Amino acid sequence: MKNSKLSMMSHTRNKPFQPSTKEQRIAALEEQLTRALAIIEKLKRQNELLHAENEELKRAGKRQAAPFARRKLVEHPKRPGRKAGQGKFFRREQPAPKQVNKTKVAKLHGCPECGSGRLRNIHEHEQYVADIPDIQPIITRYVTYSGYCTDCRKRVRSRHPEQISQATGAAGVLVGPRAKALAADLKHRLGVSYGKVSETLNDAFGLQVGRSGWCQADRRLARQAQPVYRDLIQVARCSSVIHADETGWRIGTLPGWLWVFTNQEVTVYAIRDNRSSDVVIEILGKKFKGVLASDCFLAYDEKRLEDWLKQKCLSHLLLDLKEIEESKTGRAAQFARDGTALLRAALVLKAEKPKLDPALFAQRAQTLETQLDTLISRQRQLKDLDNLRFARRLRKHRPHLLPFLYVEGLDATNNHAERQIRPAVIIRKTNG
C-alpha cells in the first residue's frame, strides 16, 4: 500500500501542471477582452476620422469666401505671379499731343496753406486722365420707299446698306449691331447674366432693353453667324493637331454636353445631347488626318476612330499614378513610381529636343519606348489589382502615349482644351 502511494506521488510530480476548468475560463476571457479592447480602439479611431470628415463636409456645404479652395495642400506649390520672361511688363504710355482732346489748367496764385505767402521757384506738372465720355445713344432714322413694279408685278422697297432689318411700325424701333455685339460679348465671354447685361447697358448708354430682348438678339446673331461657324469647322478639320474635351451642360432641365475642339488657331464649341463619338465625327469629319489630343474617355477610342492618330493626355495619367502610389506601400507602389518616372522623363526629353543632336534624341526616345514596353508587358507578374488594371489601360493606349516626342507642335497634355473650355464652365457656374 505504501509503495503504491509512493508510485502515485512520483507519477504526479512528473506530469505537467494542468490548470483547472476555472483557470481556463479566466484565461480565455482575458484573451477575449484583449481582442475586444483592440477592436474598440480601432473603431474609435475610425469614428474620429468619420467625425472629422463629416464636420468638413458640413463646412463645405455652407457658403464660404473660398468655396473652391484645395482641401489637400500641395506638397510643392507653385510660386504666385508670372514667371520671369512671361508676359509684357510696362507702364501706361504718355499720349501724343494730337491725342489730347482738352487741356485744363489749375493755376497757383498764392499759398493755399496760409493764404498770404508769396511763391517762388514754381514748377509745372502734367497729368493725363483717360476716361469714358458721357455717352448718349445715337439714334439713326432710316427713310425708305416702296412702290409697285408694273413689269414684274411685285411690291419693291429700297434698303440702306447699313440697315439690319426692314421692320416698320411697332417693330420699327431696333437696337443697333454694336450694342448687340457688346451685349453678346458681356454674356458669352465675360459671363454676365442677361439681367445684368440689361442693367449695365441701360445705366451706361440709356438702352432700355429687357433681358428677353438681349436673349432674342443672341439667337438672331447665332443664326447670322452660322456661315462663320461652318468655316471654323473646316479650318479645324484641316488642322494638323486638335485638342478635344467635353463637360456637362444643361439644356433647360435636360442633360447635355459642351464639346470643345481647339488648337492655337481656331476653337470650335458644340452643345449636344450626347457624349458619344458621333460628335467627334460630326465636327472633325470621318477622315480627319491630324492628331487628336484628348484624355482617355471612351468616346475618343471608338472603333470608327481606331485609325486616327491620337495623343493621350499624360497629365491625367500622372495624376492617376500619383493616387495609386499614395494608396500603396512596399513593392505595390513601385509600379506607380516607375511609370511616373518614365512619363516625366519623356516630358523632359521633349523639352530638350531642340538642343539635342537628332541621333542622340532618337536613341533616348527609343530607350523610353523600350522601357515603356517592359513596364506594361503582359509577361510581367503584377499581383496588385490596381497596378494590373492600370497596366492594361496603358497597353490599350500604348500607340497614343509618346507621339508628342516626334510631332512638332503636339503637346503631351490636353491642357489647351481645358483652358479653352474654362470660360464656358465659368459662365455655367455664374448664370447657367
Indicate which CATH number applies to the domain containing 295.
3.30.420.10
Cell numbers found for residue 351: 523639352
Rounded to 5°, angle at Cα 298 from 321 and 320: 10
Among candidates 311, 312, 317, 308, which has minimal Cα distance to 342?
Answer: 317
- Are residues 248 and 271 located together in one domain of the fold? yes
Given a contact cutoff of 8 angstroms between Cβ atoms, the answer to whether 244 and 228 are in contact is no
Q: Which amino acid is at 175?
A: V
Tell whether 111 is covered by a domain.
Answer: no
Q: Looking at residue 6, what is its pLDDT? A: 47
Residues 321, 379 within the same domain: yes
* Whether the predicted model's global pTM rises above the 0.85 cut: no
188 shares its domain with 260: no
- Residue 180 in domain: yes
In this prediction, residue 116 carries a pLDDT of 76
Torsion of CA 228, 234, 235, 241, to 10 degrees: 140
Residue the block writes with cell 510530480: 13
At 165-218, the pLDDT tens digits run 888 888 888 888 899 999 999 988 888 889 999 999 999 888 889 999 999 999
Query: What SS3 state is found at 236?
Result: helix
Based on the domain organization, do 216 and 230 belong to the same domain? no
354 beta partners: none
The answer to whether 179 touches 201, Cβ cutoff 8 Å, is yes
Q: Is residue 290 part of a domain?
A: yes
- 178 belongs to a structural domain: yes
Amino acid at the residue 145? Y
124 falls within a domain: no
Burial status of residue 247 (CB atoms within 10 A of its CB: 0-12, 13-18, 19 or more): middle
pLDDT of residue 288: 93
Residues 367 and 298 in one domain: no
What is the rounded distance in angstroms from the CA atom of residue 369 to the CA atom of residue 371?
6
Task: Confirm if 259 and 269 have CB atoms less than 8 A apart.
Answer: yes
Whether the CB-CB separation of 413 and 314 falls below 8 Å is answered with yes
Write down the pLDDT at residue 173. 85
**What are the φ and ψ backbone dihedral angles of 70, each rounded to 5 degrees?**
-70, 135
Check whether residue 264 and residue 340 sit in a common domain: no
* Within-domain flag for 299: yes
Cα separation of 258 and 376, whole Å? 34
Contacts of 255 (CB under 8 A, 6+ apart): 248, 273
Indicate whether 182 and 271 sit together in one domain: no
- Give the structural domain span for 156: 146-160+173-220
Are residues 305 and 265 part of one domain?
Answer: yes
Instruction: Give me 98's grid cell.
Output: 494730337
Query: End of a domain among 286, 311, 336?
Result: 311
pLDDT at 2: 47
Q: Are residues 358 and 380 in the same domain?
A: yes
Q: Does residue 356 fall inside a structural domain? A: yes
49-88 pLDDT, tens digit per residue, is 898 888 877 776 665 555 556 566 777 777 777 777 666 6
What is the dihedral angle through the alpha carbons of 290, 296, 301, 305, rounded to the nearest 10 degrees?
-10
Do 368 and 297 have their domain in common? no
| Predicted confidence pLDDT, tens digits, the chain (432 residues) | 445 544 544 444 554 445 568 888 888 888 889 889 989 988 998 898 898 888 877 776 665 555 556 566 777 777 777 777 666 666 778 888 888 989 999 888 888 888 777 888 888 888 888 888 888 888 889 999 999 999 988 999 999 998 888 888 888 888 888 999 999 999 888 888 899 999 999 998 888 899 999 999 999 989 989 999 999 999 999 999 999 999 998 887 888 999 999 999 999 999 999 999 999 999 999 989 999 999 999 999 989 998 999 999 999 999 999 999 998 888 889 999 999 999 999 999 999 999 999 999 999 999 999 999 999 999 888 888 999 999 999 999 999 999 999 998 899 999 999 999 998 888 887 766
How many distinct structural domains can be found in the chain?
Answer: 3
Q: Answer positive or negative: Cα dihedral of 294, 299, 301, 302.
A: negative
The answer as to whether 45 is a domain residue is no
105-129 exposure pattern, b = at least 16 Cβ within 10 A, e = fewer: eeeeeeeeeeeeeeeeeeeeeeeee
Q: How far is CA 387 from CA 69, 335, 401, in A?
A: 31, 7, 18
- Pair (198, 231) in one structural domain: no
Residues 200 and 257 in one domain: no
